[in-house]
Amino acid sequence: MIIVLGAFGLARADELPATLDKPYLGCWLAFSESRDFEFVIGGDGDAELFFIKNRKRLSIGGCTLKIYYALEEKIKGKGGKMRWISRKMAQDGFEDFGKETAEPPLRKPIGFTATYTGGVKVRITQVFTKDGMEISTMVIDKGESKGELRAGVKFLVGDLFRQIDDADLEKRDTESKLEDTRISVREVGERRAARVKFEDYDVVLTEEFPKGVRAFALESDRYGDHEFQITTANPEYGVIEFVQRKKIIHGFYVNWYPDAEKAGEQDARLLFKVK
C-alpha cells in the first residue's frame, strides 16, 4: 500500500483520485498556502485540481479540473486537409519526476520530461505560487514523428450540472441553479472582458471567440464559490482556445499550445490562479 504525506496528514492510496489509483512513478500533492485548492500530478500523466471548502476537498459532480499535458501532431487527412491528432503519453511516461512531496518549493521551477508514442519527448516545467502555478511546455525530441508538433495543456471543465437534462432547461427553477456560475473572457485584440452566464446555455464558446482568448476565468458555487483564472503571459506566444461539444453547462475544454518556435522563451507560459 502506498502512503502519501499531505498537508492534512496521511492519505491512503485508496483515497487518492481514481485517475491516480493505478501504477505510477509517484505523485506530488501541492497545496496553496491559502488552502483554496489541492493539486495532484500522477506519474502516468494524469493531473487533477480539487477546490477546497471548509478544509474539505470537493470531488463529486464534475467539481474538479482535469489537467492533461497534451501533445499533438499535424497530419494530412482525407482530401489532403491538414488536421491535428493527439499522441498518447507512454505508460509511466515521466522522467526526472523527482520525489513525492506535499510541499513543492514556491517560485522555483520544477521540471520533468514526458514521453509520448513514437518516442516524442516534451519538457514540462511548473512553478508553484501561493495561489496557483505557471506552466510551460517544449518539445525536446521529435522521435519518430514526421509532422509538425505542438505541446501544451488541456483543462477539462467538468459537467457541473449533470443533474440537469436538456428537457429541464426551460423549467423555472433551472435558471436559479445556473445563475451563480459565470465566465469572464478577454478575447485576443480586445481591451474589455466579455461575460458569459451559464443561464445562456446555448452559447458555443468556439463560435463566440473564434480567434481565441488571452484570459479566461470561471466562478461557480459548484467550486465552493472559488474562481479560477487562466491567462497567457503573452498572447503572441500562444492563445487559449476552446473545444465544446455539448451545451456549456455540461463541460468543455480550455486548451493552450505555445507557438512551437517560441516554446521555451520567457513569455511562453500559461498562468493559473485560484481565488
Distance CA 74, CA 51 (A): 35
- % residues pLDDT > 70 (the chain): 83
**Half-sphere exposure (CA, 13 Å, Cβ side) for 67?**
20
84: buried, middle or exposed (CB in 10 Å: 19+, 13-18, 0-12)?
A: middle
pLDDT the model gives residue 16: 44
When pLDDT is averaged across residues 172-177 and rounded to a whole number, the result is 86
Q: What is the mean pLDDT of the chain?
A: 84
Give the distance from CA 44 to its chain's centroid: 16
Beta strands 181-187 and 194-197, pairing class: antiparallel
Flag whether pLDDT at 95 surpasses 80.
Answer: no
Average the pLDDT over 29-58 and give the result: 77
**Residues 57-85, mean pLDDT to the nearest whole number:** 90
Q: What is the pLDDT of residue 139?
A: 98
> What φ, ψ does residue 206 adopt, rounded to 5°?
-65, -30
The confidence score (pLDDT) of residue 13 equals 39
CA of residue 29 relative to chain centroid, distance: 16
Q: Is the pLDDT of residue 20 over 60?
A: no
Please name which of 231, 232, 230, 235 lies closest in space to residue 189, comparing C-alpha atoms.
235
Every domain of the chain and the residues it spans: 27-274
Would you tell me which CATH number, out of the four given (3.30.450, 1.10.3470, 2.70.98, 1.20.120), belongs to the domain 27-274?
2.70.98
Residue 100 has pLDDT above 80, yes or no: no
* pLDDT of residue 152 exceeding 80: yes
Per-residue pLDDT tens for 189-243? Answer: 898 999 999 999 999 999 999 999 999 999 999 999 999 999 999 999 999 999 9
Task: Taking residues 74-93, report their average pLDDT.
Answer: 87
Beta strands 213-220; 181-187: pairing state: antiparallel
pLDDT confidence of residue 28: 57
| DSSP string across the chain | --EEEETTEEEEGGGS-GGGSS--S-EEEEE-TT-SEEEEEETTSEEEEEEEETTEEE-STT-EEEEEEEEEEEEE-GGG-EEEEEEPEEEEEEES-----SSPPBTS-EEEEEEEGGG-EEEEEEEEETTEEEEEEEEEE-TT--S-EEEEEEEEE--TTTT--GGGTTSHHHHHHHTTEEEEEEETT-SSPEEEETT-TT--HHHH-TT-EEEEEEEEGGGTTEEEEEEES-GGG--EEEE--S-GGG-EEEEE---TTTTTSTT--EEEEE-
Higher pLDDT: 24 or 6? It is 24
Residue 255 has pLDDT above 60, yes or no: yes
